[in-house]
Structure 1
Amino acid sequence: MSDALRTWQRSKKPSRFSRFVRGIKKPEPLRERISYTIYKLKVQNQRLNQSYQRMQNHYNNLFRKVTNAVMAKDTTRAHIYANESAEVRKMCEIIMRSQFAIEQVSLRLETVGEFGDIAVEMAPIAKVISSIRGPLTGVVPEVSYTLGEIGGTLNDLVMEAGGATSVPWNVSYSGAEAEKILSEANAIAEQKMKDKFPTLPNADLPRFEKSS
């Protein structure tokens, strides 16, 4: 092989600098990241639904045990089952509220991704995710952890979009919007809980007062 050919082949190889530049991953466009965030939220909602179904079945079993214990006049067992039923109901309510909040957040993200002002509308959404994450920690911890990651992504999007458009982060607006979303989710969940969870039988169960 001639020296000229070797020189030409070496010149065709990318330099270290060009390889370094190619290795730098370009950040994904904001709207693509929003779409991926919506997907992750829907996956978490599916996980919450699975947990909810298991807990609802557990509640129904406990409800039957309470009823049987009351009919048998076994007040001690009835009280134990009733207390456990109340705890399970609380967990179901936390999950249901979180589900409706995530649904509303996902819809808002879809609207923002298509038509909205990302810098303005994203902050309340991030606050909602942060608010529902805490109560889920003791109920569905794996979902809570993932929501923490999603919340971090949303906060990054807020900062990036705000920096790109020079739009200030209106804390009062974001807080009010977040409260509105959470209030709507809570109202829907409260009504659904009344429809899906029967009231425990009131049969003079003993009340254990805390000693002072």
Structure 2
Amino acid sequence: MSNFEKDWQRKPTPGISENIQGLIKKAPPLKPQVENTIRVLNRPISKLDNTSNQLSQKEQKIFNKIVQAKQNGNIHAAKVFANELVQIRKTRSMIGNMKLSVERTQLRLSTINTIGDVIVSIKPAVSTMKAVVPVMNKIMPQASLELESMGNMLGDVVPGSISENYNFMDYGMSSQETESILQEAAAVAETQIGNKFPSIPNDSINTRTSIGSFKD
């Protein structure tokens, strides 16, 4: 059994020192630590999400005040509210980035947790196939070649150590599909923002200007 497998699903067993003095403690297995961290990260994600929603509601109210001030011709009030809206949007953007960072960390840990289970479950099959190949080579050479090929393939998929053979943190690679998804998401986001914060109709401004000129 590899060091990773031992660390991943280790069952704590008392040693001589623990039984006598209880002073030496073995490190807990990795899997429960990873799963616990994933659960713990749900709390800050939830808090950041609630804060973002509250700021979003406040943002909508301030924007409505700006629209009302513009309609009433109160330019000073509109500027004051606009400055406040800028600060709110900056804060909400910062909160969104923080939430994204925490969610990304949680996603990576989930990936590690999933692949860790796969490594532990498939590794015995790889060892068995490699042990059978020499015997099969004497009886059915062709079958042994196929088994050896499959064993090598699984051996490439299942690393002996996560830190040495698999880079879970490599998210920098881009692809055409990724760019397409990002463009689609940007289009949807732009549409939602347009629906959420509609611009002031030019007809209303022109009509109000015309009425003011007529009165003068």
TM-score scaled by structure 2?
Answer: 0.49
Structure having greater relative contact order (Cα 8 Å, sep ≥ 6): 1
TM-score scaled by structure 1?
Answer: 0.49
In terms of Rg, which structure is larger? 2
